[in-house]
Amino acid sequence: MIKVVTGAGASGKSSFAESLLEQSEAKRKIYAATMIVWDDECRARVKKHRQMREKKGFETAERPVDLGELFVPEDGAVLVECMSNLAANEMYREDVGMESCAELRAAQAGERILRGLRLLAEAARDLVVVTNEVFGDIKLTEEETAAYQRLMGRLNRELFSMAGEVWEVVCGIPVQLKGKKEQTGAAGTELAAGQNKEGKESLHMKFITGGAFQGKRDFAEQLLAREGVLEYETADGAADPFEAAYSRKLVVNVQDYVRRFAGLEDGEARERLQEFLDRLIKENPGAVAVMDEIGCGIVPVGREERLWRDLAGEAAQTLAACSRDVYRVTGGLAQVLKGGER
């Protein structure tokens, strides 16, 4: 069976995809890594992913291009991680003619990738493919980037059509979009609704996410009104100090609190972020926290913007895991991801 996992950057989709591969009854499990290691940042990302899967019994195969040439052993299962890297690698490979226009290179890349996926689907007992939501930006007009975005859209449509199961991971919580509905815990956490990381009694925090300008704050205020909370102070990550977030009932623009750490070195940034989240959860467990989902676009060019996106995804996973109720708001409509009123 083909299973596809999609989601924003740093949403927890890799962990969840690995859990799907672990569930396969195949004797050998192949992790097809598509990233080309260009620099120290790439090396750090590869190291992180290897550490995540080091005790899971996967065999790693580097396959940045020519997916169909991957050797699949008898009774083998394959995880392809991930489609966005593979698409870029195929679109910009030098041995197929970089002089062609972007649209032609994208079309040819799409044919090679889809042919490879079909070959893998025939050869593997189970095939898990990780893809990305790169469509959250304003429609791009720059030729190369727009062609890449259209290529990813084509690949995702084809993948979703081929797959028996399609999952979207939101803040570490898997949401099934296609296939027989199954019960599963949050990706990489297996936390029951309302428990914190240590498995203690339920917290009362509510976490609301979604794209910008979708009505998240309005929904948060509605939740508070339903509880009879009509007077409260608000902490705004775009303007207020960290201290405000540790005591005020409504905490909005959490992504902007997170952004303050993006100018630091990676290790220090993650350490400072964790200190902020630990205090927020410990000192303000009854808060309603509102945060933009910022990972559904093309990967930023600037280092700080990339780090901010990663840190925001990690923060969202932590807050979702430690909240009793988790919602995603789209166009003013709230989807319950965990606990909550339906």
Could you report the per-residue pLDDT of 64-123, keeping only the tens digit for each? 999 999 999 999 999 999 999 999 999 999 887 767 899 999 999 999 999 999 999 999
Question: Between β-strands 2-7 and 165-170, what pairing exists: parallel, antiparallel or unpaired?
Answer: parallel
Residue 263 and residue 159 share a domain? no
Domain assignment of residue 74, yes or no: yes
Q: pTM for the full model?
A: 0.89
Alpha-helical runs (H) found in the chain: 13-23, 40-53, 83-91, 102-123, 143-162, 216-226, 242-245, 254-259, 266-283, 303-321
Query: Rounded to 5 degrees, what are φ and ψ at 297?
Result: -150, 180
Residue 216 and residue 109 share a domain? no
42: left (phi over 0), alpha (psi -120 to 50) or beta: alpha
Handedness of CA 252, 253, 258, 261 (dihedral sign): negative
Domain assignment of residue 187, yes or no: no
Residue 167 and residue 60 share a domain? yes
Residue 302 and residue 155 share a domain? no
pLDDT exceeds cutoff 60 at 233: yes
For residues 168-177, one letter each, b for 16 or more C-beta atoms within 10 angstroms of the residue's C-beta and e for the rest, the string is bbbbbbbeee
Domain assignment of residue 197, yes or no: no
Domain assignment of residue 282, yes or no: yes
Could you report the per-residue pLDDT of 151-178, keeping only the tens digit for each? 999 999 999 999 999 999 999 999 999 9
Query: Rounded to 5 degrees, what are φ and ψ at 29?
Result: -120, 115
The tally of domains found in the chain comes to 2
Structure tokens at 285: 């467990």
pLDDT band at 139, cuts 50/70/90? low
Residue 227 and residue 124 share a domain? no
Residue 174 and residue 43 share a domain? yes
Structure tokens at 80: 């392809």
> Which CATH number does the domain housing residue 103 bear?
3.40.50.300
Higher pLDDT, 45 or 103: 103
Residue 212 and residue 65 share a domain? no
Residue 171 and residue 249 share a domain? no
Domain assignment of residue 120, yes or no: yes
| pLDDT value for 110 | 97
pLDDT exceeds cutoff 70 at 145: yes
Q: Which domain holds residue 126?
A: 2-178
Terminus-to-terminus CA distance in the chain, angstroms? 32
Domain assignment of residue 269, yes or no: yes
Residue 136 and residue 70 share a domain? yes
Residue 138 and residue 72 share a domain? yes
Could you report the per-residue pLDDT of 189-223, keeping only the tens digit for each? 433 333 444 444 446 899 999 999 999 999 999 99
Residue 135 and residue 213 share a domain? no
Domain assignment of residue 128, yes or no: yes
| pLDDT value for 200 | 42
Q: Which of 194, 204, 210, 202 is nearest to 227 (CA)?
A: 204
Domain assignment of residue 195, yes or no: no
Could you report the per-residue pLDDT of 255-287, keeping only the tens digit for each? 999 999 999 999 999 999 999 999 999 999 999
Residue 24 and residue 146 share a domain? yes
| Mean pLDDT for all residues in the chain | 90
